[in-house]
Structure 1
């Protein structure tokens, strides 16, 4: 299918994902300037780093992060109400972040046109979401509130994006997108609370710190409904008591005050991180299909676990008058089996590269 043969609904949806293709630029010499109040970064996530093309197979996201409080009165009222529930009434807004992205899911064999009822359904999501991070007065607890809205089905443009990418890269053409989960408005709200664990943190040789935080997250909506808990470790210098999750798809928000510092040479900063997270899944539209519709579906597993490791490199001398310093981050996720089938379902691995500027 030609890239220019979308129907009007798809053209409208393209406006959400096109900015993700623009997250690159030149690096210039350092120029004295005030730190930016708005920064941008893009994330590309794919399982092709491990020579597979299945399950959660691709994700792209453009993120815009702000340090100034630009919330509307309505947004302030919503966050205040949410904080009554999640015990963050005395917390101050740290950053806000807007994400535009696309997610893509396929069965293990994308060259089959026939339905594959025992494998993961074809599915896509095009979304926009807004997050707010709030830090407690003792700076040991970080609460993140997020609202997401998007579209599934053909309007997500996942079919068009995968076909175009495979054509450009001379890969096998996906043939089963006519079996994808149908179109609908998709909404989800989530809250995460991350708390520093002093007993599991330590000072290491060379002024290096190892900080550990425990966290929980709840999400509800017709996209996903689940409860999660996890443990996150960050290794670096001059770390805060509680570090935010690294930037990328599904990981919200950071701030200059939490930034990494020089760990090897003057012009290079680095931070390593790892996490283990377990989710109790009550609903997943990408496995269950739409509510009250006859969509493809599989038997969802109730518990899913992610193991995550990664490294982030910052280049402080690349700051200019027009943008903050550039950074690059690489993250690997190993996910347990998400559904049951009559044939063996392997664990899944994917990697993500995030590239952009920071404060």
Structure 2
């Protein structure tokens, strides 16, 4: 077994090598931060960090991976799309989960167990007006590989950050879910309605974006469906927010795009390693709820930059997320803030 430090460095190095060998420079970069402290809580899904990169000219290894994903899991959409429209990229992320009482040295066995998940992944995304329905459609596939448990280094990451901001450390990481390699396949399909323009201008309008998501793997298995309603300008440049932690860098819009959005998603949860515990050995666990609701509301702006600025566009998404109880002994719902910054080069 790798040491904790070696595993962490290997995952970090793999992500950096993947990004910087995919292309010379140009592309779209995503920096995502989810945290519950900004919503005045400190429990359960407590922090998530994610870096995404969609190069202008992806390397052969990346295109081979995308071909495998499309040919194996892209039925009903991807085969109908022009290959030149594909947006192929990499992601690197880390999620961390804690119980409500982080001061206890021995965690409450009825509360969510400590857990960390560090991963790298390949993504492929496309948009079309000739998909599964008559609506504009966006398909996204992602395959993540990583590690759960002490090797993920989530505990060290959290406590180092807490020391930096002068917050007490979480004391129960010695009781986290054990080490286990992880795989997670996710597919999301979005459908965008035509924009309703009550003022007969592209600067102000309304639309709706229904979506469906399926996940398969020893990290999570389940399905979800939801809808987002938006009010904003030039809404046809975009497909709205992402639910969960599954975000991909957005391409540069032709025009300034903005929106206020609100929506909800219903999830059927067949498996969640962060609640069910390790797959092949005993570990801390709680009894999960099979049905979970998540609501999300926020604001988004994507600004194309003038020539000569050295950057093509800047996008900012800020949202507040509310999630119902995920396990039977949870006493109240969770909430957190989500920030996403995209830079287009």
TM-score range, shorter chain: 0.7 to 0.9
Corresponding position of 2:39 = 50
CA distance in structure 1 between the aligned counterparts of 2:65 and 2:166, rounded to whole angstroms: 48
Aligned residues: 326
1:282 counterpart = 2:270? yes
1:183-222 correspondence runs (5 A): 183-198=179-194, 201-205=195-199, 206-207=201-202, 208-222=204-218
Deviation of 1:230 after TM superposition, in Å, equals 0.8
> TM-score of the superposition, structure 1-length normalised?
0.82
Corresponding position of 1:106 = 98
State the Cα RMSD in Å: 2.7
Kept after mapping to 1: 8 A contact 2:101/2:107: no
Deviation of 1:291 after TM superposition, in Å, equals 0.9
53-62 or 67-76: bigger deviation: 67-76
CA distance in structure 2 between the aligned counterparts of 1:225 and 1:247, rounded to whole angstroms: 16
CA distance in structure 1 between the aligned counterparts of 2:38 and 2:30, rounded to whole angstroms: 20
1:235 counterpart = 2:226? no
CA distance in structure 2 between the aligned counterparts of 1:249 and 1:319, rounded to whole angstroms: 33
Q: Deviations over 1:33-82 (max 9, x none)?
A: xxx85021211110001221100000111111235565434532441332
Deviation of 1:237 after TM superposition, in Å, equals 2.3
Q: Which runs of 5+ in 2 are unaligned?
A: 18-24
CA distance in structure 2 between the aligned counterparts of 1:317 and 1:140, rounded to whole angstroms: 26
1:337 counterpart = 2:325? yes
1:24-173 correspondence runs (5 A): 37-68=26-57, 71-73=62-64, 75-83=66-74, 85-92=75-82, 93-138=85-130, 140-173=136-169
Deviation of 1:160 after TM superposition, in Å, equals 0.4
1:302 counterpart = 2:290? yes
Q: Which runs of 5+ in 1 are unaligned?
A: 20-35, 263-268
Kept after mapping to 1: 8 A contact 2:36/2:45: yes
SS at match of 1:340: coil
**Cα 1:72–1:317 shift into 2, 3 Å:** closer
Kept after mapping to 2: 8 A contact 1:43/1:62: yes
Corresponding position of 1:22 = none
CA distance in structure 2 between the aligned counterparts of 1:282 and 1:103, rounded to whole angstroms: 20
Deviation of 1:173 after TM superposition, in Å, equals 1.5
Q: Deviations over 1:118-163 (max 9, x none)?
A: 1000000001111111223537111111111111111111110111
> TM-score of the superposition, structure 2-length normalised?
0.85
1:272 counterpart = 2:264? no
CA distance in structure 1 between the aligned counterparts of 2:228 and 2:154, rounded to whole angstroms: 32
Deviation of 1:16 after TM superposition, in Å, equals 6.2
Kept after mapping to 1: 8 A contact 2:66/2:88: no
SS at match of 1:291: coil
Q: Deviations over 1:264-306 (max 9, x none)?
A: xxxxx53222221111000000000111211100010001111
Kept after mapping to 2: 8 A contact 1:245/1:252: no
CA distance in structure 2 between the aligned counterparts of 1:195 and 1:38, rounded to whole angstroms: 25
CA distance in structure 2 between the aligned counterparts of 1:332 and 1:222, rounded to whole angstroms: 28
**Cα 1:311–1:241 shift into 2, 3 Å:** closer
**Cα 1:73–1:251 shift into 2, 3 Å:** closer
Corresponding position of 2:343 = 357
